[in-house]
Amino acid sequence: MPTEKTVGLAGATVCISARSAAAQELLHFLFSEFRQVDTANGNLSLELDGDDQSGFILFRDGSEVYRDKQPADAAVLLLAEVIHSLASRGRGELIMHAAAISANGRCALLPGVSGAGKSTLSAWLDFRGYHCLSDELACIALDRAMSTFPRPICLETDVQSALAQEIGAARHEHRLIASEEAILLKSKSGVPAEMPRFDAVFFVTYKEGSRTVINAVPRSKASVRLLGSLANADNFDDRGFAELSEVVQGVDAYEITYGDLAYCGPDILHFLDDLGFTTDH
């Protein structure tokens, strides 16, 4: 019997059905941290079938999307389908292309384009006791209430040396699937039972060979910079600028440039401690 999971964000939903036992196992790996939502109003239906030997097959509303994909590659493509649907259809709240972390009742958004280093930093912090709420999408209401897309952290394979300890631990604890092109690492800390309100934003940039550079960002500039990470801007009359300006009031904003985390990591942890993002790392 197929297993179904319906996930949602900002009123948009996707229903995913897994036919085979292997597909059900992959579905659980990807979406176990998501709360089940109402299945009656799904905006998109996806069906996953297949196994590790013959490859996975994905159907979108009954039409085949791909076949013969190994677990990690199938997972990345399935997540892309879900993310695109939720980000384009979500309304009423701000859907940000961003990672999000929390600790000690504080919650920070890490916006940035692909390759900015937000997933790498999120995986590094997750291993050290911070809650990785998402490394891709975060949804913010006008009162700064936060909901997220808590998928496994998706990493490029070129980070294996930089995150050798974190990846090794995830593999040992069966929290990882990988291929030649992608690494998916399930969060060690998971999502907290009660989601804190968004109260900080860190504009993260990885720069090879850089020391740690942290600068405060005025809130007026933070709202402008966040516009570039607003995934559902087309669903707002003014592309969301008024709403972003409202939610950043009372929010700490910084830009963080970092290089090798073996050297830059302690500086980042000290900075987070000073802001009250305290863990037992």
* pLDDT tens, position by position, 219-249: 999 999 999 999 999 888 888 899 999 999 9
Any idea where the domains of the chain sit in the sequence? 3-89, 94-275
Band of pLDDT at residue 193, cut at 50, 70 and 90: confident
Count the neighbouring beta carbons within 10 Å of the beta carbon of residue 210: 14
Q: Is the pLDDT of residue 280 over 70?
A: no
Q: Is the pLDDT of residue 77 over 90?
A: yes
Q: Between helices 164-172 and 118-127, what is the axis angle to 10°? A: 60
Which of helix, strand or coil describes residue 163?
A: coil
Average pLDDT over every residue of 24-34:
94
What single-letter DSSP state applies at residue 233?
Answer: G
Q: Is the pLDDT of residue 273 over 80?
A: yes
Band of pLDDT at residue 189, cut at 50, 70 and 90: confident
DSSP 128-139: TT-EEEESSEEE
Q: Is the pLDDT of residue 28 over 90?
A: yes
Q: What is the pTM of this model?
A: 0.93
* pLDDT tens, position by position, 97-140: 999 999 999 999 999 777 789 999 999 999 999 999 999 999 99
Predicted local confidence at residue 91, as pLDDT:
85
Task: Classify burial at 222, counting beta carbons within 10 Å of its beta carbon; exposed 0-12, middle 13-18, buried 19 or more.
Answer: buried
CA–CA dist 21, 200 (Å, integer): 41
Band of pLDDT at residue 42, cut at 50, 70 and 90: low
CA–CA dist 100, 122 (Å, integer): 8
CA–CA dist 199, 265 (Å, integer): 22
Strands (E), the chain: 3-9, 12-18, 44-51, 55-60, 63-69, 94-103, 106-111, 131-134, 137-140, 146-148, 153-155, 176-178, 183-185, 198-206, 213-216, 252-258
Q: Is the pLDDT of residue 1 over 80?
A: no
CA–CA dist 263, 265 (Å, integer): 6
CA–CA dist 252, 108 (Å, integer): 9
CA–CA dist 30, 234 (Å, integer): 28
